[in-house]
Amino acid sequence: MTTTTSFPFPPTYNFPPFFTPQPNSNTRLSQLEKWSSLIQAWCRHHRQYRLSLVDAIDTPLFHNALLRKRLDLAAARDVLDWMTKSEEEGGGGRRAEWLDASTGGNAAPKSVAYIWWRRPEEWADVVADWVENTGQRGAVLTVYELIQGEATVSQDFHGMDNDVMMKTLNILVKRGKIQIFGNEGEEGVKFF
C-alpha cells in the first residue's frame, strides 16, 4: 500500500556526506541514527513493513538522483544491521529485524528485513487501545477482519502485513489480553 503524497526527505538527505560512511565514531553514530529515522519514516509513509534491500537500493530512499549519490548495498546492509541491535549492544534500538528462512522469509540472508517504525510491542499497545476504545472486549474477530475489516479502516494497523499482525497478536497472548484459535491463515482472535 502506498500513499499518493510525496515523501518529505529530511535536510540531511541533500548533504552529500550523508551517503558516505563516516570514519569518526561520533559522526558515524549520528549518521546511523539519521539513516534509521529516514528508513523508518519512509516505510511508515509508504505503509511498508518489510524492506527488500535489492528492491529498495535504486529507489529514492537510498539514491539521491539530484546529488548523484547513493548508499550502496553493503552500506545499506550495515545500516540495517545497526538498526537490528539494541541500544545496549551499541545499536539502533531494534528498529529492524532480518528475515531469513527460519523466520518465514525465503530470501538470501540479510536481504529483507522488517522495519519497525513501530515495534510489535508498540503495535500491541495500539491494538489493545483500539479494543478498549471500541468496546471489542469479549468479541471474536478474524485476523483478516483486524487487518482488512471496515471497523479498522481508520486505524494505523489497517492493511498491516499479516506476519507483523501475528507477531503483535502473540505479544497480546503473552500479556493475557487475547486468545488465538483456528488454523493458520484462518485464525480467530478473542479479546479479553
The position carrying cell 500479556 is 175
Region 8-35: mean pLDDT is 96
pLDDT in tens, 40-85: 999 999 999 999 999 999 999 999 999 999 999 999 999 999 999 9
Identify whether residues 170 and 81 lie together within a single domain.
no
Identify whether residues 132 and 177 lie together within a single domain.
yes
pTM of the model: 0.89
Identify whether residues 128 and 95 lie together within a single domain.
no
Number of domains in the chain: 2
* 45-59, 101-115, 157-171: segment of lowest average pLDDT: 101-115
Identify whether residues 126 and 110 lie together within a single domain.
no
Amino acid at 62: F
Q: Of 115, 146, 164, which residue is a domain's last?
A: 115
Question: Residue 101 is part of a domain; what is its CATH number?
Answer: 1.10.10.570
Q: Of 115, 148, 167, which residue is a domain's last?
A: 115
For residue 107, the model assigns a pLDDT of 58
Which residue range is the domain that position 106 belongs to? Answer: 11-115
Identify whether residues 132 and 147 lie together within a single domain.
yes
Give the residue with greater pLDDT, 2 vs 125. Answer: 125
Residue 114's nearest CA partner among 79, 75, 80 is 80
Residue 2 pLDDT exceeds 60: no
How far apart (Å, rounded) are the C-alpha atoms in residues 45 and 5?
9
Identify whether residues 18 and 76 lie together within a single domain.
yes
Identify whether residues 94 and 35 lie together within a single domain.
yes
95-98: long-range contacts, CB 8 A cutoff, minimum separation 24: 95/36, 95/39, 95/40, 95/119, 96/36, 96/39, 96/51
